[in-house]
Amino acid sequence: MGRLKLQSGIKAIEEEPEDCDAVNSNKTTLACMINSEIGAVLAVMRRNVRWGGRYISGDDQLEHSLIQSLKALRRQIFLWQHQWHTINPALYIQPFLNVIRSDETGAPITGVALSSVYKILTLDVIDQNTVNVEDAMHLVVDAVTSCRFEVTDPASEEVVLMKILQVLLACMKSKASVMLSNQHVCTIVNTCFRIVHQAGTKGELLQRIARHAMHELVRCIFSHLPNVDNTERALVNRTNTIKQEIGGVDRDYTFGGTHTENGNGNYEYDDQASSTNFASNASAGTVATLMEESIIGAGNGKEAVEHLMTEPYGVPSMVEIFHFLCSLLNAVEHVGMGLRSNTIAFDEDVPLFGLGLINSAIELGGSSFRDHPRLLNLIQDELFHNLMQLGLSMSPLILSMVCSIVLNLYHHLRTELKLQLEAFFSCVILRLAQGRYGASYQQQEVAMEALVDFCRQKTFMVEMYANLDCDITCSNVFEDLANLLSKSAFPVNCPLSAMHILALDGLIAVIQGMAERIGNGSFSSELVPVSLEEYTPFWMVKCDNYSDPCHWVPFVRRRKYIKRRLMIGADHFNRDPKKGLEFLQGTHLLPEKLDPQSVACFFRYTAGLDKNLVGDFLGNHDEFCVQVLHEFAGTFDFQEMNLDTALRLFLETFRLPGESQKIQRVLEAFSERYYEQSPQILANKDAALLLSYSLIMLNTDQHNVQVKKKMTEGDFIRNNRHINGGNDLPQEFLSEMYHSICKNEIRTTPEQGFGFPEMTPSRWIDLMHKSKKTAPFIVANSRAHLDHDMFATMSGPTIAAISVVFDHAEHEDVYQTCIDGFLAVAKISACHHLEDVLDDLVVSLCKFTTLLNASSVEEPVLVFGDDTKARMATVTVFTIANRYGDYVRTGWRNILDCILRLHKLGLLPARVASDAADESEVAADPGHGKPITNSLSSAHIQSMGTPRRSSGLMGRFSQLLSLDTEEPRLQPTEQQLAAHQRTLQTIQNCHIDSIFTESKFLQAESLLQLARALIWAAGRPQKGSSSPEDEDTAVFCLELLIAITLNNRDRIVLLWQGVYEHIANIVQSTLMPCALVEKAVFGLLRICQRLLPYKENLADELLRSLQLVLKLDARVADAYCEQITQEVSRLVKANANHIRSQMGWRTITSLLSITARHPEASEAGFDALSFIMSEGAHLLPANYVLCVDAARQFAESRVGQAERSVRALDLMAGSVDCLTRWANEAKEEMGEDDASKMLQDIGDMWLRLVQGLRKVCLEQREDIRNHALQSLQKCLTGASGIQLSHGIWLQCFDVVIFTMLDDLLEIALGQSQKDYRNMEGTLIIAMKLLSKVFLQLVHELSQLSTFCKMWLGVLSRMEKYMKVKVRGKKSEKLQEIVLELLKNTLVVMKTKGVLVQRSALGGDSLWELTWLHVNNIAPSLQSEVFPDQDPNQMGLKQGDGSVVSAEIASSASNDTAASEGAGSGG
C-alpha cells in the first residue's frame, strides 16, 4: 500500500509547507487513497441485491443514506484545499463508521468498512495535533465497539471480529491514542476480551489473533504508565478522596468483580459478569460494554467517577484493567464446568491467559507501579493473594508463569512486597520444591527452577537474609532456601538427576555471588561480635537509616543475634518454662525483674515455642500471668477485621487451654482488645465476649465428628439474640459468621514447629495488616556486608552437597560446575577468615584426588591420567593451597599426603624441595620448578635401560616404558602415552613447588601448621631399620621442612623449636648411616650457615643445635665426618664475626676438635681452626681457651703430617700476642675495676695456654715434643706485656714447668728408646727453658715469701737432671748444660742481690739451703761464684761506692752471658 513512502510524504508536508507542489501532491495522494476505499465499500455493497438496485422508501430518496454519505464524501474529497491535519477527521471517517454501525449491512460490507478505517488510522494522518481529533477517536471507538452486522456464514463473522480487533489495536497504537478517555480505553479492552471469549467457539486462528490483540492492548496501555505525570496522580488521589467522602463507592468501573465476604479480601465473580457467562449473541451482532453493566455507586460519587473516566486515559483506566486482570485469576473457582469437557485444560486456560497479561503489564509498567497507590495496592493484596493460591495449582504451566511474575515483581517492586515475598517462598516455593503436600515431580522441578532463577539475582539471598532472617517477626527464608538447595542437591540412594544438578546450580550461584562481592570491600575486618551488654526491649530495636550500610549492617546483625538467642530461649522454655525465662534474663533479652510486656512479646514474636505451654501460661490465674495475657492481646492489630478472622489469628498463636476458667480469661482479654479496635457493630466488649464464645461452640459443633446433630444457621442466629447490649446483631452479619465457621474451621490446636504454613484467608488479612507496619525493605548493594554471617550458616551443607554431586557426577561440565563451587567456597572462606571451613573443603577435595587411596592398581599413573575427576580435584587442591594457603590449618596434612603420594609415584618435578630452598638459584633460573620436558622421542623410548626408582617425572615415565628388562620391551600404546601426558600436564598445572618457594608470604599460623604437618607426615623415626619407602618419605619431608625454614629466616623463631626437635629425634634414633640422618645433619648445618648472618639474637640457639652432631652414633659420625667438617669450616669462614658467645664457640671448637683424629676430616677441621686463630683474626676472650684446647688436640694428633702439629703449636704460641693486645686495650679503655678483672681473666687464659703446651711437651714424636718446648718457652718469656700476677707465675712453676720437667724425667727413665727417641736433647731444652724463665723472673719473685720454696724446686730438678741416666748411662752433655745453667743462675742471683749471706734474721735459710743443694750437684760452684767469700763469714760488708759499682757492672755482664748461653743450648 506504499505506507512508508506515504509517511515520508506526510513528514515532508509538515516540514516544508512552502513547497506547494509537494503539498498538493500529498493532498492528492491521500484523497486518492480515501477515494479508493470509498469505491471498495460501494463495490461490495452493490454486489448485494439489497443495495444493488434503486432503493425506494418514499420521500423521493433514491438511494440509501449509507450510500449517499459515501458518494457525498467522494464528491468533496478532491475539493478540500487545506492541509489534512486541519480537516476534521470525522468528515472522512464518519461515512465508514455509519456502515460499521448499521445492522442492515452484512459481514462482508462491515469487514471492508473496518479495513478502510484501519487503513486511515495507520496512515498517520491523524495525530494529537489534528483538528477535533478527540471527537474523531471517540467516534471510531464508539462505532467499532458497537459494531452491528448480519451473519451470513461463520467464516465471514470471524473475519469481521478479527478486523474489529485490528482497528481497536490501531486506535491504541495511533499517535492520537493519548486523546482517548479512560472510559474508551476500558471499553476497547472490554470489547477485545468479549471477542476473546467468543473466539472460544470459533476457529483456532481467531482465538490466537484475539489473544494476541489482548496482549498487545495491555502492553500498549501499561507502557504508558512510566509517562503518567503528577496530574494523573492527583486525579487518582482526588478519586480516593471523593470515595472516602461518599463512602458508597467500593470499586467503580469494574470488569465484573464484586466485593464479597465482608473484609476477608476474596473477590468473586458475580454470575452476571462471569467471563464464562458472556452471551455470545453473534447473530444479533451486539457486543454490550461491560462497563455499563458493572458501575456501582450513586449520586455525586458516581458523577465524580464519570468525570474522571472521561479524562484522557491514565491511571484510572489502568486500575480498572489491572483489577479485571487480577479477577481473571480467581475465575477458576467459579466457572461452570459444562462448557468444556477437558476441565484441567480449562482450569489452566483462563488463569494462564490472565497471568500472561499481568506479566506483560508488570514488565512494561515496572517500578512505576509504586508511584500509584491504587495500582500498588492491587499488586500487594489481590494479585499476590491470587498468585499464592495459583502457585499451589497442579499445573506446572501456571506455576511457571506465577514464578515469572513474582521474579518480575521482585525486580521492580521488592521494596513494597517484603512480607508478600516471604509468604510466597514459605507457602509456595518451599512447600513444592521439597516434594511435600503431594507435589508432583513437575511441580518440584518448576519450583526449583524458579528458586535457582532467584538465586542468580546477585543480591537476592542477601536481601532475604537482611530483611527476613534478621527480623524476629519473619521466618528464616535464607536458611530454609539454602538448606533446601543443599538437600535437593544430595542424591540419596539414587543416581544423579536433573533436579540435583539444578539445585547445585542454585547453590553455586549463591556462593559465586558472595565470591564476586569480596572484591568490593567491606568484610571481616569490620565485623565485630555482637553482644548485649544491658537489657533493651528486643521488639523495639530500630534502625536510624535503612539505606546507609553503616547503620543497617550493625542493626540487622544485632537483630539476628537477638533472634538466635530467642530461639535458644524457646528451646529452654519448651523444656522448662521457668529456666527458659531465666536464660533470657541472663542474656539481657528480658529484664532482671520480669515485666508483663516483655514476656508477652517473647510469646508473640518467638518462633518454635511449645504452644501448649504458652496457652497454659496465658490461661493461668496468677496475677502476673493475667497481666501477660492482656499485654499479649495488646500486641494484635484487629482494626477493620471480622470477629471470626480476629479470633482465628489470636488462637493460632497458642493452644486454647481445656479448662473453662482459663478459656474465659483468654476470651475476655481477646474481646477487650477486639472491641477497643473494632467497635463498629458491637455495643460493648461483653457482646464481643459472648459472640466469641458462641463462635467457639459453633466451631466445635460443626467440626467435631462426635456431634451428630449439627447447628443450623437459624439455631445460631437464635442463640445470639439480644447479646449486643440487649439488642440483636444484624442477621446478615451473623449469617456471614456462621458460613465462615462452617466452611473454614478455627483450629484450637495449631500446628507446632517450623513447618511451612498454608496461606488461609485470615492469615492473608493479618499479613496485609503487618505489611503496613513492617520495617522498610533493605536494598543490598554489591558489598560483602553480611556474607560472613550468611556463609558461616550455609558453608557446611554446601561443601557436603557439592562434594556428593562431584562424587556421583559423570560428565565433565558437572565436574567443572563443582570445581567452580569449590573455588568460590575457598575464596570466601579465606577472605572471611573461616579457617575451619577451608580445612573441611581441603579434606573433601583430597578424597577425590584418589591420591590418598591405598592403590592396588598396577599402574596408578595411567589410571590417574585417565581419571578426569581426580585430575581436576588435584589441580583444585593445589590451586587452593597456592592461592589461599594463608588460611589453611589442619588441611596441610591432607595436602601433604597428596604431595607424598605423587612423590612416591615419581610424579613430582625432580627439584621441588631444592627449588624451594635455593632462593639464589631460583632467581637465576627462570624455569625453576617446572617438570622436565614432557615430550619423548622414540629413540629415547627405545634406549631406556633397566627401570630403577627415580624421583623425576622422566624416571617414572621410563618405568612405564620398560616394564621388565628380562622380557622384550613393549612400546607403550597411544592411549598410555596420552594418559601419561595428561598426568604430567596436571602435575605441571599444580605448581606444587610454589607452595614452598612462596612460603615466606604465608601468614604465621598457616606457616606453623605447614611445618607441623611436614613433621607429622615424616613420621617419628624408629630405632633400627625402617622400610626404604618410609625413609624416602621422611627424607622428602625433611627436605621440604628445611626448605621452608630457609625461606622464612625472618620468622625462624616461629619454626625453630619444631624443626630442631624433629632433627634431634632423627639424630638420636639413628644407629647406622642413612640418607635421612645425612639430610638431617647437613640440613641443620645449612640452616645455621644461612641464618647466622641475619639472626644474631638466635645465634646461640642455632649453634647449640649443632651439638646434635656430637650426639651422632659413632658409625654415623664416622661416615659423614669429612663432609660435616667441610660444612662447619664453611660456616666458620662465613660467619665467624657473627659468633659472639662462649657457648657458640664451644660447639664449633668441639666439632673441630673431634676431627683432629679423623684421617679424612682433620685437614678441613684444622683449616677452619687456622682461619680462627691465625694472627688472632677471630680470637675472642669468649673462644680463646676453646681454640687453644682444639689446637692442642691437633698438635697431639698423629693423623696427617707432623707439619700440621707444628703449625698447631705455632698457632698456640702466636696467640700470646692476642693476650698482650687485650691486656693493653684493657688498661687504656676500661675503668680500674673492669681492667683488673679483665687482666685476671687474661692471666687465666694464659695459664690455660701454657698448660696446653705442657701436655704437648710430652709427645712421643721428637720434633713435635721439642717444638712444643720451644713454643712453651716463647709463651713463658713473651708474657711480659700481659702483666701477670705473682700468684699466676708461682702457679705456672708448680703446675706447668715443674710438672713438665718431672714428667719428662719420668719418660726418660721409664720409656724405651723406640717410643721416645732422643730424650736427651729434649731434657736439655727443658732445662734451658727452666733456667731462662727463672732468670727472667728471679728479681720480681724474690720478694715473695714462697720464693725459697720455688728456688729449691729449681735446684732439686737440676739435681735430678744431673743424675739422670739416659739409656742406662749418665749424659755428659746434659751434665755440662746443667752445671753451666746452674752457675749462670747463681751468678745472676748474686748480681741481683737475691743470693747473699744475711744476718740470722731470715736470709740464712735461703743461703744455706742453696748451698746445701748446690754442693750436691757441684761442690766447686760456691768457690767459683763467690771466690772472695769466706764460707764462715756471716755476711758481705758493704765497701765504698766504687766497689759496689763494679759489682753491679759485673753482674749485668754475667747476666747477659748467662742468658746467651742458655739460648745457644737450644
State the Cα–Cα distance between residues 563 and 852, nearest whole angstrom: 43
State the Cα–Cα distance between residues 1438 and 765, nearest whole angstrom: 143
Residue 808 is placed in which grid cell?
Answer: 556421583
The closest of 1305, 1205, 1210 to 1261, measured between CA atoms, is 1205
Residue 785 is placed in which grid cell?
Answer: 556486608
The closest of 1062, 918, 1052 to 993, measured between CA atoms, is 918
State the Cα–Cα distance between residues 1248 and 1181, nearest whole angstrom: 12
Residue 211 is placed in which grid cell?
Answer: 489473544
Cβ neighbour number for residue 616 with a 10 Å cutoff: 18
Distances (CA, A) of 231 to 191, 949, 1194: 28, 89, 112
The closest of 570, 154, 255 to 581, measured between CA atoms, is 570
Residue 500 is placed in which grid cell?
Answer: 540435583
Residue 1175 — left, alpha, or beta (φ > 0 → left; ψ -120 to 50 → alpha)?
Answer: left
State the Cα–Cα distance between residues 1092 and 1080, nearest whole angstrom: 18
Cβ neighbour number for residue 426 with a 10 Å cutoff: 22
Helix (H), strand (E) counts: the chain: 69, 4
State the Cα–Cα distance between residues 471 and 1394, nearest whole angstrom: 111
The label of the residue with cell 438496485 reads 53
Tell me if residue 659 is catalytic.
yes
Distances (CA, A) of 619 to 482, 571, 613, 660, 694: 39, 21, 10, 10, 19
Spell out the long-range contacts of 1366-1372 with Cβ–Cβ below 8 A and sequence spacing 24 or more: 1366/1308, 1366/1319, 1366/1320, 1366/1323, 1367/1313, 1371/1320, 1371/1323
What are the beta bridge partners of residue 1200?
Answer: none
Q: Are 360 and 299 in contact (CB under 8 A)?
A: no
State the Cα–Cα distance between residues 279 and 198, nearest whole angstrom: 9
Q: Are 95 and 64 in contact (CB under 8 A)?
A: no
Residues ≥6 apart with Cβ < 8 Å to 305: 239, 242, 249, 252, 253, 295, 297
State the Cα–Cα distance between residues 1197 and 1211, nearest whole angstrom: 15
* Active-site residue, from 16, 659, 921, 1203: 659
1021: burial class by Cβ within 10 Å (0-12, 13-18, 19+)? Answer: buried
The closest of 752, 754, 692, 753 to 720, measured between CA atoms, is 692
For helices 835-848 and 812-831, angle between their N-to-C axes, nearest 10 degrees: 160
- Sign, CA dihedral 820-826-830-834, equals positive
Q: Are 60 and 107 in contact (CB under 8 A)?
A: no
Residue 241 is placed in which grid cell?
Answer: 478522596
826: burial class by Cβ within 10 Å (0-12, 13-18, 19+)? Answer: buried
State the Cα–Cα distance between residues 784 and 510, nearest whole angstrom: 13
Q: Are 1035 and 1080 in contact (CB under 8 A)?
A: no
- Sign, CA dihedral 840-845-849-853, equals positive
Which residues are the active-site residues?
A: 659
